A and B are shown apart, each in its own frame.
Chain A
Amino acid sequence: MVWIPSLMRDLTGGQARVSAPGRTVAELLDALEAAYPGVRERLCPGGRLHPSLAVVVDGRRAPLGLLEMVGEESEVQFVPAVSGG
């Protein structure tokens, strides 16, 4: 299950959550791109995850980013990257 960021829901017909197959975040993005063209360019301009974003899989930050493995029941989110002071 992928949580679609609100500013991208114009691509998914307003859907906030969509299902997509894939063993990795990258494969999942391929499937999303096929179903909702334009998703990849928004998240990964130039082919790499935008530096302002982090991938979160099942509530944990995914250090491998697009290469992170996902399960069939996984919940994937793209959130702003934050740190601290």
Chain B
Amino acid sequence: MPMPRDEHQPVPEEPAPLRVIGTRPPLYGAVDKVTGRAVFGADISLPGLLHGKVLRSPHAHARIVSIDTSRAESYPGVHAVVTARDLPEGAGERFERDNTLAGDKVLYVGHPIAAVAAESPHIAEEALALIDVQYEVLPPVLDVRRAMEADAPLLHEALRTWSLAGQAASPSNVAEHLQHVKGDPERGFAEADVIVERSFTTTMVHQGYIEPHASTALWHPDGSVTVWTCTQGAFPVREHLSSLLHLSMARIRVVPTEIGGGFGGKASSYVDVVAALLARKAGRPAKVVMGRDEVLKATGPTPGTFIRVRMGARRDGRIVAAEAELCYEAGAYPGSSVGSGADTIFACYDIPNARVDGYDVVVNKPRTSSYRAPGATPAVFAVEQVVDELAERLGIDPLEFRLLNCAREGTRRVSGQPYPRVGFAEVLEAARAHPHYRAPLGGPNRGRGIAFGYWGNWAGQSCCTISVNADGTVSLLSGSVDVSGALTGIAMQAAEELGLELEQVQVRVADTASIGYTDVSAGSRTTFGTGLAAIEAACDVIAQMCARAARLWGVPVETVSYDRAAFTTSLDPTKRLSFRELAAQLSATGGPVMGRGNVDGDVLRRGGAPGLHIADVELDPETGKVTVLRYTAVQDVGRAVHPGNVEGQIKGGVAQGIGWALYEGCFYGEDGQLLNPTLLDNKLPTAMDIPEVEPVIVEVPDPVHPYGVRGAGETPIVPVAGAIANALYRITERRMERLPMTPAYILERMGVI
């Protein structure tokens, strides 16, 4: 079984030539998607289907005094009204429960309070207006630094700051304080010849997936329920339903539909429990589809942040000390991405003395969710400007400065863990060699900036099965939903291992009743982790088929092998069967063959993926408008299973990053109202805003994966805002200390307004 190598085992100098991996076949399901045949969450339709709508809080912070649903219940066409009282007593973890349907308090504008199922969405909406909720309105707290002050309004009276120093005695909006210390930061700063310190703020940003959340529930006479939902992970949805409904997992089947974007935001469950409660109470299937304003008001943005960075370097160019304070808005409930922000902020560099403090802070905004490399983009926006400034003050080329200080194999991170083999230096060298880095800018008011980012990747748990068909083809079931074309990469790894053409592998996403637990498709893990499961399943198939060949030939199984072309035995060179020939004889040699792969990729000591971005921008000095002229993204992807798809991931990540850098954000009024709950006002980048992005793939194989694969999907968003900020500095001679860098902000920094 060629399962994950030990990292101490050297990667072969000349790996066997690959037939499938590294090619660019059409993605599975692509034609269905572009021709409108793919079934997304809102497309589910069942006989007798009811339509659910959710009543949401108009206040950012209020105590619920009473809820009267009687008028809505008697409204013609209404079949069910549910509130938190319909959740089983004591079900679920408190914060999960309260975020699904509010208990005694609402904590953000858009917080779900009640839901109605009716014959039509319009009737359901009309009935929502008949629900009478009495509130005691409380002052909201919306800014992370204000929320950390001792006299700030408290969201959760029982919340006390937890840290490894112990639990605080008094209540606070700071849910957690984490800290990493490496070496002696004070001594390091004393050695420094140049010290730069700056503070940065970034606003909450929504993931901006185009498909709204949608869930449909159908209860069966035996008390079990089927839920169709657009999600990044069917199994976590099943666990959420089981926890909040007090229902055995064996009585829940979650069927993941196609997903129209998620970027981390669909790793959380919002309307699945509501749909199930409505359907159970009404005795008919019920579907809840969020509107765009509901998505923007009440589903997971990424945290707004305050980040302070201080770094010191010697005249010889070596960074000798660094410290950072990261304060992240968790939204209404604890659990921001400050942990990964703190893990990422100095990740690219070998810094002997460093300290990082992170704070997870609740505020009266929606609970934050993952967003593509959660927490990393704001951290890198901050640190890469400070690194750039250090290089400038030392008179060193910014790329050479990064190369001088980059992490290498064995470098200990600030958290203490040593890196395995990761292509930090290789990425920088590839960027240095790229013509873009030295190309003329070609006009006034133009600048070039670079930024270096890293995402550590997460592997998670995955399952796959592979069934052999009599004609020599196979059917692969994946526990992972197909986010960003990962299903094709998973199938390609199975085809490579089995010695088949990709066309011989049928691949589908399984529901939760059909395969073992599989984590969400997130964390740059799917092609890596579920790919490992597919490889393991393929190896299981080969082992079973070797046994069948041994039975056919009457030889010991130990003498049979498969070289991805034919099964042979060392005892008789005349015996030879192709995969297809042997598949045709399975029925006669013991029946069907099905291979299984179930892996926990997190037990591997795997490396992440660094990326160096080069951005050329042009600034209109009168209007503050920024145009990105040219963009190059260099990234270590380990091994590009499907180079076209990897390039697509890089381009997509850069496009999202440009939006985040220049105009995207969730802007709130003083009362906590979201001021831009439409895509007209919450602008996403379009083809008009994005230049041709040139991805440069660097392949430094990850030693723990049989094919050297690394996760590739998240790193591309991490350096973008930092690269653009550094490019703008070259034009304005001003460091950009706020995201998004809107025209008004840039003009303000320039002193124009």
Q: Give residues in A with beta carbon < 8 Å to B.
A: 3, 5-8, 10, 16, 41-43, 45, 50, 52, 56, 58-63, 77-85
Contact B415 A79 (CB under 8 A): yes
Instruction: Please tell me which one of the listed residues A7, A50, A83 contacts residue B165 in the complex, with CB atoms under 8 A apart.
Output: A7
Q: Is the CB of B417 within 8 A of A7?
A: no
A44: shortest Cβ distance to chain B, in Å? 11
- Separation of A3 and B164 alpha carbons in the complex (Å): 13
Q: Is the CB of A82 within 8 A of B165?
A: no
- B457 contacts partner chain A, Cβ-Cβ < 8 Å: yes
A42 to B374, CA, bound (A): 26
What 6 A-B pairs have minimum CB-CB distances, sorted nearest first?
A85-B264, A84-B523, A85-B370, A6-B181, A80-B339, A7-B164
Asked whether B603 lies within 8 Å of A85 as measured between CB atoms, the reply is: no
Min CB distance A40 to B, Å, is 12
Q: Check if A59 sits within 8 Å of B420, measured CB to CB.
A: yes
B373 lies within 8 A of chain A by Cβ: yes
Could you jot down 9 A-B contacts, CB within 8 Å?
A: A8-B164, A50-B162, A52-B339, A60-B604, A62-B603, A79-B415, A84-B524, A85-B372, A85-B522
Establish whether residues A80 and B342, one from each chain, have CB atoms under 8 Å apart when the complex forms.
yes
What is the minimal beta-carbon distance from B689 to any residue of chain A, in angstroms?
22
CA distance A3 to B179 in the complex (A): 13
B interface residues, Cβ below 8 angstroms from A: 162-167, 176-181, 207, 263-265, 267, 337, 339-340, 342-343, 355, 358, 369-374, 415-418, 420, 455-458, 460, 522-525, 600, 602-605, 711, 714
Given contacts A6-B179, A52-B176, contact A82 B164 (CB under 8 A): no
Nearest chain B CB to A12 CB, angstrom units: 12
- A59 near B458 with CB under 8 A, answer no
Nearest chain A CB to B258 CB, angstrom units: 19
Which B residues touch A8, using CB under 8 A?
164-165
Task: Please give the distance in Å from B716's CB to the nearest CB on chain A.
Answer: 13
* Known contacts A5-B164, A84-B458; 19 further A-B pairs (Cβ under 8 A): A8-B165, A42-B165, A52-B176, A52-B178, A59-B417, A59-B420, A60-B602, A63-B602, A63-B603, A77-B415, A77-B417, A79-B417, A80-B178, A80-B415, A82-B340, A83-B370, A84-B522, A85-B207, A85-B372
Q: How far is the CA of A85 from the CA of B178 in the complex (A)?
A: 21
The secondary structure that dominates the B interface is loop
Which residues of the partner chain A approach B265 to less than 8 Å between Cβ atoms?
Answer: 85
Q: How many A-B residue pairs have C-beta atoms within 8 angstroms? Tell me.
A: 101
Residues of A within 8 A of B374 (CB): 82-85
Q: Are B714 and A7 in contact (CB under 8 A)?
A: no
Interface contact B166-A5, CB-CB below 8 Å? no
In the bound complex, do residue A84 and residue B420 qualify as a contact, i.e. CB atoms below 8 Å apart? no
- Chain B positions within 8 Å of A60 at CB level: 602-605
Chain A residue contacts of B458, Cβ below 8 A = 82-84
- Specify which of B181, B355, B418, B455 is in contact with A84 (CB 8 Å cutoff): B455
* Cβ–Cβ contact A85 & B342, under 8 A: no
- Give the chain A neighbours of B714 by CB distance below 8 A: 84-85
- Identify the interface centre among A62, A78, A82: most chain B CB within 10 Å of its CB: A82
How far is A74 from B133 in the complex, measured between Cα atoms in Å?
58
Tell whether A61 pairs with B264 under 8 Å between CB atoms, given A5-B164, A7-B165, A52-B162: no
Beta-carbon contact of A83 and B522 below 8 Å: yes
Contact B604 A85 (CB under 8 A): no
Distance, CA A79 to CA B456, complexed state (A)? 14
Q: Nearest Cβ distance between residue A81 and chain B, in whole angstroms?
A: 7
Q: How far does the Cβ of B456 sit from chain A's closest Cβ, in whole Å?
A: 7
Per a CB cutoff under 8 Å, which of B165, B267, B339, B600 touches A81? B339
In the bound complex, do residue A56 and residue B267 qualify as a contact, i.e. CB atoms below 8 Å apart?
A: no
- By a CB distance below 8 angstroms, the chain A residues around B415 are 77, 79-80
- In the assembly, what is the distance between CA of A56 and CA of B415, in Å? 11
Q: Tell whether, in the assembled complex, residue B523 and residue A85 are in contact, meaning their CB atoms are under 8 Å apart.
A: yes
Within the assembled complex, what's the spacing in Å between the Cα atoms of A6 and B358? 13
Which residues of chain A come closer than 8 Å to B604, judged between CB atoms? 60
Q: Which residues of B contact A16 (CB under 8 A)?
A: 181
Of A5, A43, A59, which contacts B418 at CB under 8 A?
A59
Partner of B167, one of A6, A10, A45, A83: A45
Q: In the complex the two chains form, what is the Cα distance from A8 to B458 in whole Å?
A: 27
Please name all residues of chain A whose beta carbon is closer than 8 Å to the beta carbon of B417 when the two chains form the complex: 56, 59, 77, 79
Roughly how many angstroms separate A37 CA and B370 CA in the complex, as a whole number? 37
- Chain A residues near B167 (CB, 8 Å)? 45
